[in-house]
Structure 1
Amino acid sequence: MAELRQSHHDKEVELWCEDEARLGLKPVVRRAWALKGTRPRSNGRHKFESLFVYGFAHPNSGRSRFLILPKANAECMGQALADFAGWADPDGRKVLVVILDGSGGHTAKGLRVPPNVVLHRQPSCTPELQPAEHLWPLVREGLANQVFNDLNGLTATLTTRCQWLTEHPMVVGGAVGFHWAVAA
């Protein structure tokens, strides 16, 4: 970060984190209260349709951006990066450092990275160091114990939940605000 700040002294350098998660039609099950002696109803489904949520979070402020795409590959990652860069820095006055893991879509040779984005890949097998991993329990909580007939229903509920998280940066900041990321 210090090197980037020196080499780009005319621009603000921001640290962000990114990850993606697959969500599908199989329900996210949580515990439920029930009267003693009764058993709560549980819905199950074994449909294997899914989509991917790309999540970007700013550990220092809790600002976040979510994008729902059909796959997790280099093309979709390029779309997500372009959308994020246009949202986080519409005027091109910042350098956006994005921490991400080493998944195939992040390391592909065909990945298109916007000019104001610098990718910083984590060492392999270190998901505990990725602040964005902590977005997914927040996202999944909005889907808990619900059954969706198709991806359109899932997408609508997921969009509402992601919008709520975007409007509540204190919730996101509490999850992704790792001390080393906030200090960067």
Structure 2
Amino acid sequence: MRRCWAKRGVRPTAPHANGFEWTYLYGFVHPFSGRTDVLRFDAVDIASFNAALSMFKARFDPADERLLVVVVDNAGWHRSPKVVVPSGVQLVFTLPYTPELMPAEHLWIPLKEGLVNRAWPSLQALIEPLDQRCV
């Protein structure tokens, strides 16, 4: 849900569902070129973050020729000692409570356009248009 324009005196309505199912996006952005890579997972946890880092490394530096710096926030699944950082990847942590410093934060606004203020009959019904927006 989010704010929307409406005529004065008219209360806009938005359909909603009372049950919740979740999907999570992991986004990687090259700050100079704007090249992005978005991965969808069923969970946001240490195992999913490890898998996302491995996929990122395999896609962008399979020959292990570069140093890839990944800026992450201070979420528990980013800071855990159980996080397996692939060789050639370095995690840099932002200051606490500074989402504006995250290059990937700007990805989410256009991804949400057209998907918000709607009720989806199932998670699968949401995933198809979400995947199309990610492309």
Unpaired stretches in structure 1, ≥5 consecutive residues = 1-27, 164-184
Distance 2:38 2:52 in 1: 9
Q: Which residue of structure 2 aligns with residue 79 of structure 1?
A: 51
Q: Which residue of structure 1 aligns with residue 86 of structure 2?
A: 114
Q: TM-score, normalised by structure 1?
A: 0.65
Distance 1:149 1:38 in 2: 27
Q: Which residue of structure 1 aligns with residue 121 of structure 2?
A: 149
Which structure carries more helix by proportion?
1
Q: Which structure would you say has the larger RCO, counting Cα contacts within 8 Å and 6 or more residues apart?
A: 1
Equivalenced residue count is: 135
State whether structure 2 residue 110 is matched by structure 1 residue 138: yes
Deviant stretches of 4+, over 3 Å: 36-41
Q: TM-score, normalised by structure 2?
A: 0.87
Q: Cα RMSD over matched residues?
A: 2.1
Which structure carries more strand by proportion?
1
Distance 2:96 2:26 in 1: 20
Contact 1:142 1:161 in 2 (8 A): no
Tell me which moved more, 131-140 or 70-79.
131-140
